[in-house]
Structure 1
Amino acid sequence: MIQRPSSQDPHSPSRAQMQQIASAILYGVLVVLALWVVHNFIPAVVWAAVIAIALWPAMRAIEGHRLFKGRTTLISIVLTTAVGLLVVLPIGLGITQAAREAHDLIVWTRTIQENGVPLPAFVEHLPFGAQQISAWWQANLAQPLNASPAMKGLHGQAVVTFGRHFGARAAHGLLVFGFTLVTLFVIFQAGPRLSGALLKGARRAFGADGAQILQRMAGAVRGTVTGLVVVGLGEGALLGVAYAIAGVPHATLLALVTAVAAMLPFCAPIVFGGAALWLFAVQGAVAGAIGVAAFGVVVVFVAEHFVRPVLIGNSTRLPFLLVLFGILGGAETFGLLGLFIGPALMTVLVVLWKDWVQ
């Protein structure tokens, strides 16, 4: 007589399948709960991962040198400190320069509050709109700003509220930056063990194709960092020379601001355009203003349309249009992190498309 397997038999196929489903649900719940617990620190982890991916070849090269073999902790400290200084020094330079100019700014603010802002001389020579601009300026800015209709909204409470919001955002950014450096040190110290574990996990979960996609995404992030940071620093250096030749005040600091702005798509023209406008409106240097504007347009055009797409596209094998969409769409969706996440996602899209059509 044949006996049927009992539903209570622990070796029953249906029982095993139910256990697998329950385990999958439990794992999913635990992962979601863990991510919810640490969700405030996810930006710091992602920033650290982006920086680590970008500096990974440099770290491997340093490890291969005979002076640094077996000194993983020392390498991690040096690289983490270098990243921290690269961020802190420009900010410190800007704060120091602002503190030096604080007295003149306070004097200028008191002067315009008592006497107003005089109409710039170039307004009268504009080909059109001079009367409208002059009328608005006389009504809102030429008179003492304490009684100006345009300045009534800038009361003390608004300034205090703005200061509180700015301070809170600055404190949050400082906290994220601190945890980013700590996470970056841990990633560097883990070294090859971490990368090997990630690739092994990707192969086990998604097969060889999953590991390949992970490597391509890392290459996309590395290429994007190179394209944004290196090209941004190059634009800042070239335009800094132009600022110095044209006589723009604080040319070095402005070059640093331009370099940071150039790392973001289409932001550098705002800086060198403002410098050109300053030369034209305040100093009356028409030739210098035209020179800075023209040189800036040429530098940005070459960098944005030739150098940056080549650096990013060659490392990720992405067409220029997808590179552009990845950077802009990522920035709009994820903020500053999206500049690096966007091209990585576009790389995955291209890989999946090639696998589909083959």
Structure 2
Amino acid sequence: MPFDSRARTVARVAIAILVVLLAAWVARDFLVALTWAVVIAIAVWPIYIRCAISVLGGRSRAVAPLLFTFLTGLVLLVPIALAVHQIAQGSDAFAHSLNKLQQSGIPVPAWLARLPIAGEYLDLWWRTNLGDPEVLIDWLRGVNTENITAWTSTLGGALLHRLVLFAFTLVALFLVLRDGAWLADRALATAGHLLGRPGQRLVRKIADAIRATVSGTVAAAIVKGAVIGVAYVLTGVPHPLLFTVLTMVLAMVPLGAWAALAAAVLILLIHGGTWWVAAGLAGFGAATLLIGENLVQPALIGGAARLPFLLVLIGIIGGMQSFGLLGLFLGPVIMAALLTIWREWIGGED
């Protein structure tokens, strides 16, 4: 008995859903990389189009996306390369310091004994444990080298996996930029076929929210890094330019700027900085990061995406809790989609 039209429609939908789920399962390890490529492509698309037309004249479909993909890779890799270079430069000094520690122990900081309440106790503990070379060597011998080796091997495997995903992201970014106009038309056509004109408005709103989130996040990271960078210079942190760049870059990663700030404070103390100067840097940096993350960044994103401040804040925090770093961008996008659907239901724009 042949199927009627309704049964055929249900069968087509069921088969389509099954195929989509199977495809997502097969590509599950690459979905994050694909999502990053789409997010980056949507964020840089207006700049990419202007540069492709004005500089290259649109003569080649491959040169412009290849150039933008290469520049994206440089922007992401240069700060990491700078940090690795600085670490490599300091490896000789670290080896010399390690040999010195084995001979004389770790000297007690002058400011430790002046700490209120627990200063004398901490000074005595430091001299007894860290200041005695024999005790320090015994402590180092007690470290489980097998665990360290296993941890290093795991870290190396995870790093290799991340490098493969990064390379896949760049390849996907090149393809998305090259065929971006065609993909955008297909997305609008699909949304219009499924949902009508509200679906097309939803797609446009999602694209606007992605651009606003990326631009707001980058702008807030630059502002936070620059302000804290001034504090690095004033307090005498070694290599202040490097720490400023690292703070800007890591400010786009959850808790990244806090790690850069903590490293700068620690380096300042190691190089002879007083404890009250280090405390002042830590307090000023923490205040700057709190204001930037909870006020400046949501305001920048909300203003560009026409989202209420509270929805942006919920989207950023909840998105990172749910999706990790990618949720920093997906959270506000989901909130923008929710607001767009609500506006369509009530039939208004505001």
TM-score (structure 2 length as normaliser): 0.88
Larger displacement relative to structure 2 (289-298 or 195-204): 289-298
1:253 to 236, 242, 245: 242
SS of 2:4's equivalent in the other structure is helix
- Rounded to whole Å, the distance in 2 between the matches of 1:348 and 1:117 is 56
Kindly indicate whether the alpha-carbon contact (under 8 Å) linking 2:113 and 2:122 is maintained by their aligned counterparts in 1: no
Question: How much has 1:234 moved relative to structure 2?
Answer: 3.0
Question: SS at the partner of 2:312?
Answer: helix
- Structure 1 pair 317/168, CA: closer, same or farther in 2 (3 Å)? same
Q: Tell me, yes or no, if the aligned pair for 2:316 and 2:329 is still in contact at 8 Å.
A: yes
Structure 1: 4+ residue segments shifted above 6 A: none
CA spacing shift, 1:205–1:356, aligned 2, 3 Å: closer
**Corresponding position of 2:119:** 130
Unaligned ranges ≥5, structure 2: none
Task: Work out which of the residue numbers 125, 138, 147 in structure 1 matches 2:138.
Answer: 147
Q: Is the 8 A contact 2:111 2:274 kept in 1?
A: no
**Partner deviation per Cα, 1:212-251 (whole Å, 9 max, x = no partner):** 1222122111111111122212322343343234321121
The aligned counterpart of 2:28 is 39
Query: In the aligned structure 2, how far is the partner of 1:72 from the partner of 1:241?
Result: 43
Distance in 2 between residues matched to 1:75 and 1:337, nearest whole Å: 26
Q: In the TM superposition, what is the alpha-carbon distance from 1:356 to its structure 2 partner?
A: 4.1
Of 300, 308, 318 in structure 2, the residue corresponding to residue 319 of structure 1 is: 308
Which residue identity is paired with 2:131? A
Q: Larger Cα Rg: Structure 1 or Structure 2?
A: 1
- Structure 1 residue 93 corresponds to structure 2 residue 66: no
Q: Which deviates more from structure 2 when the two are superposed, residues 94-103 or residues 179-188?
A: 94-103
Q: How does 1:19-58 map to 2 (within 5 A)?
A: 19-58=8-47
> Quick check: 205-214 or 65-74, which moved more?
65-74
Contact 2:254–2:325 (8 Å) recurs in 1: no
Q: How does 1:178-197 map to 2 (within 5 A)?
A: 178-197=167-186
Assess if the C-alpha contact under 8 Å between 2:294 and 2:313 holds in 1. no
Q: Does 1:284 align with 2:249?
A: no
Equivalent in 235, 244, 248 of residue 224 of structure 2: 235
CA distance in 2, matches of 1:337, 1:268: 17
Q: How far, CA to CA, are the matches of 1:110 and 1:321 in structure 2?
A: 54
- How many angstroms apart in 2 are the aligned matches of 1:114 and 1:199? 70
Letter of the structure 2 residue corresponding to residue 92 of structure 1: A
TM-score using structure 1 length: 0.87
Greater Cα offset, 57-66 or 312-321: 57-66
Superposition CA RMSD, Å: 2.5
* Cα pair distance change 1:133/1:197, threshold 3 Å: same
Asked if 1:275 is matched to 2:295, the reply is: no
Question: Structure 1 unaligned runs (5+)?
Answer: 1-7
- The structure-2 alpha-carbon separation of the partners of 1:155 and 1:26, relative to structure 1 and needing over 3 Å to count, comes to same
User: Could you list the per-position Cα deviations for residues 260-297 of structure 1 after superposition, in whole angstroms to 9, with x for gaps in the alignment?
Assistant: 23223565344335434543564234675466446535
Helix, strand or coil: the match of 2:113?
A: helix
- The 3 A distance-change label for structure 1 pair 347 and 136 is farther
1:107 aligns with one of 96, 117, 127: 96
Counterparts of 1:186-225 in structure 2, within 5 Å, are: 186-225=175-214
- For structure 1, which segment, 210-219 or 282-291, has the greater mean C-alpha deviation from structure 2 after superposition? 282-291
**1:298 offset after TM fit, Å?**
5.8
Specify the code of the residue in structure 2 equivalent to 1:339: L
Cα pair distance change 1:15/1:305, threshold 3 Å: closer
* Separation of aligned partners in 2, 1:71 and 1:221: 27
2:334 — aligned with what?
A: 345
Q: Is the 8 A contact 1:122 1:281 kept in 2?
A: no
Higher deviation after alignment, 66-75 or 91-100: 66-75
Q: 1:216, 1:348 within 8 Å by CA — same for their partners in 2?
A: yes
1:20 shift after superposition: 2.3
- Residues 229/267 of structure 1: CA separation in 2 closer, same or farther (3 Å cut): same
More off after superposition, 137-146 vs 335-344: 137-146
- Please report how far the alpha carbon of residue 91 of structure 1 lies from its aligned counterpart in structure 2 after TM superposition: 1.4
Q: Residues of 1 paired with 2:229 and 2:121: CA distance? A: 35
Distance 2:27 2:294 in 1: 39
Do 1:228 and 1:264's aligned partners in 2 also have CA atoms closer than 8 Å? no
User: 1:101/1:66 Cα in 2 relative to 1: closer, same or farther (>3 Å)?
Assistant: closer
Counterpart of 1:329 (choices 306, 318, 324) is: 318
Q: Please give the secondary structure, in 2, of the residue aligned with 1:342.
A: helix
1:65 aligns to what?
54
- The answer to whether 1:74 aligns with 2:63 is yes
Distance 1:294 1:349 in 2: 38
Decide which moves more: 173-182 or 318-327: 318-327
Aligned mates of 1:339, 1:153 — CA distance in 2: 41
The answer to whether structure 1 residue 170 and structure 2 residue 170 are counterparts is no
Range 198-207 or range 179-188, more displaced: 198-207
Q: For residues 66 and 243 of structure 1, what CA distance do their matches in structure 2 show?
A: 39
Match for residue 4 of structure 1?
Answer: none
